[in-house]
Structure 1
Amino acid sequence: MTDTAAASPSLAASRAAVVAAALELFAEQGFDQTSVEQIAQAAGVSRSTFFRQFGGKDDVVFTDHEVLIDRLREFLAEPHQDPWAAVCEASLFVYAHFAADPDLARRRYAVVRGVPALRDREIITVFRYERLFDEYLRAALPGLDPLDAVGFAALVTAIHNHVLRSLLRGSKKVPVSVLRTALDEARRRFGVLPEGENAPADDEIVVAVFPRTMPTAELARRLREHLDD
């Protein structure tokens, strides 16, 4: 994926400073109580510079998503041998971006959760990712049943959001590998994971047979014994 921001590091740094300053002010005094002038002053930029970089306060909160969606659109426009894997790689790219600075991502999440209008925009933003994946699969796989395209796009998006929320709501790092494993399982269940790719090793498979009348607690105890051996 290309990094358009790399062509103008000073602009990227300026935007990042504005975002950091805005989120700090939103956390301290509230989103509605914070003015553009206060954000610009805290970030060391002029009011006109703020509006050149962002359309408004809410755009500051979602600016990363706008950049990410553009990058994903460029990435998915490239040729890919496995479109299903490409969608998963796109999801991983987004997650890695937020996981790289979890503290900033958590501050942003706290602000969004506290403002109804921002929560509504977040829902729309999530749908934009899902629609991008859906449209890509339909174009990359002519003849694909639309239900399969939208189903896989929704599944990937839901898994991504679940893992991301685990990162945002907790205090520990959730590595990208957690999402990758979950997406591999989604491809396996959907029937589009290439045979042999990330197949479980023999010692990862446990087969056990128990009487139907056995109490659930005893069944769980015996399973734990086998798994711990």
Structure 2
Amino acid sequence: MSDTTAIPSAAPQAAVVAAALELFAEQGFDQTSVEQIAQAAGVSRSTFFRQFGGKDDVVFADHELLLERLREFLAGSHPDPWKAVCEASILVYAHFAADPELARRRYTVVRQVPALREREIVTVFRYERLFDEYLRSALPGLDPIDAVGFAALVTAIHNHVLRQLLRGPKRVPVSVLRRALDDALRRFGVQPDGEARDAAADDVVVAVFPRSMPAAEVARRLQERLD
């Protein structure tokens, strides 16, 4: 996936979003009216409400497009579900990295408005839940703790790298996120075949347990020996 891949937005909506964020930055979110946004974007008030439900929907419009695109992406065929979740995260990051100035403007507006910060928390959870549900569906029998744990890890790593982009003037390429996610795959023990690092001799553990032993007991005994 290219480091500059972005989710295509409908041109009229993109123009409204850009105009709204500029007004929010100049005047403040609460001080900006729908009428002002519509006028700046060159659309009617009724057109605005057909495209968006309100001012806060303008701020999060890209996320709605991204979530829909990720559902389509994850619904496709993927030989490695763990890697697919990472690629979905990279797809989201690449979208914002393609226009960092617009992303930084949005970030500034959200930071200044408590109600938008609360909605941002809910939006982040929607990504995490999407990854969690996908892993459970793609890997039948997967322990739910592993699914939610990996989904949370990928989401947290993505947000950490994205904040680096949003809080500073420098470009943070997608490769930074990709390296971090590759490390997460290794740490979680699910790196693709052939991509594992050469392990030192003392990193190898061989154990034999009766087939009838519960998995939880196997894990407990292994942990006991590793500790």
Per-residue CA deviations over 1:182-219 (Å, capped at 9, x if unaligned) read 0000000000002432747x9xx9xxxxxxxxxxxxxx
TM-score by length of 1: 0.82
2:119 to 108, 121, 131: 121
What amino acid sits opposite 1:65 in the alignment?
Answer: H
Q: Which residue of 2 aligns with 1:52?
A: 50
Q: Which residue of 2 aligns with 1:148?
A: 146
The gaps in structure 1 that reach 5 residues or longer are 206-229
What amino acid sits opposite 2:183 in the alignment?
Answer: E
CA–CA separation in structure 2 for the residues paired with 1:128 and 1:195: 30
Per-residue CA deviations over 1:33-87 (Å, capped at 9, x if unaligned) read 0000000000000001000110100000000000000000011111110000000
More displaced, 73-82 or 108-117? 73-82
Query: Which stretches of structure 1, 4 residues or more, deviate above 6 A after TM superposition?
Result: none
1:40 to 38, 41, 48: 38
What amino acid sits opposite 2:94 in the alignment?
Answer: A
Q: Which residue of 2 aligns with 1:164?
A: 162
What amino acid sits opposite 2:89 in the alignment?
Answer: S
1:63 to 44, 54, 61: 61
Deviation at 1:142, TM superposition (A): 0.3
Bigger relative contact order, structure 1 or 2, given CA contacts below 8 A and separation 6+? Answer: 2
CA–CA separation in structure 2 for the residues paired with 1:188 and 1:123: 28
Question: Contact 2:29–2:113 (CA<8 Å) still a contact in 1?
Answer: yes
Q: Which residue of 1 aligns with 2:11?
A: 13
Question: Contact 2:86–2:181 (CA<8 Å) still a contact in 1?
Answer: yes
Q: Which residue of 1 aligns with 2:181?
A: 183
After the TM superposition, which residues 76-115 of structure 1 pair with which residues of structure 2 at under 5 Å, given as runs?
76-115=74-113
Question: Contact 2:67–2:127 (CA<8 Å) still a contact in 1?
Answer: yes
Closer, same or farther in 2 for the Cα pair 1:52/1:151, shift >3 Å? same
What amino acid sits opposite 1:60 in the alignment?
Answer: V
More displaced, 108-117 or 71-80? 71-80
Question: Contact 2:24–2:109 (CA<8 Å) still a contact in 1?
Answer: yes
3-state SS in 1 of match to 2:78:
coil
Per-residue CA deviations over 1:79-136 (Å, capped at 9, x if unaligned) read 1100000000000000000000000000000000000000000000000000000000
Q: Which residue of 2 aligns with 1:27?
A: 25
Q: Which residue of 1 aligns with 2:208?
A: none
Per-residue CA deviations over 1:161-190 (Å, capped at 9, x if unaligned) read 000000000100000000000000000000
What amino acid sits opposite 2:129 in the alignment?
Answer: R
Q: Which residue of 2 aligns with 1:212?
A: none
CA–CA separation in structure 1 for the residues paired with 2:92 and 2:160: 13
- Identity fraction in percent: 82
Q: Which residue of 1 aligns with 2:137?
A: 139
2:73 to 63, 72, 75: 75
3-state SS in 1 of match to 2:36:
helix
Give the length in aligned residue pairs.
Answer: 196
How large is the RMSD of aligned CA atoms in angstroms?
2.0
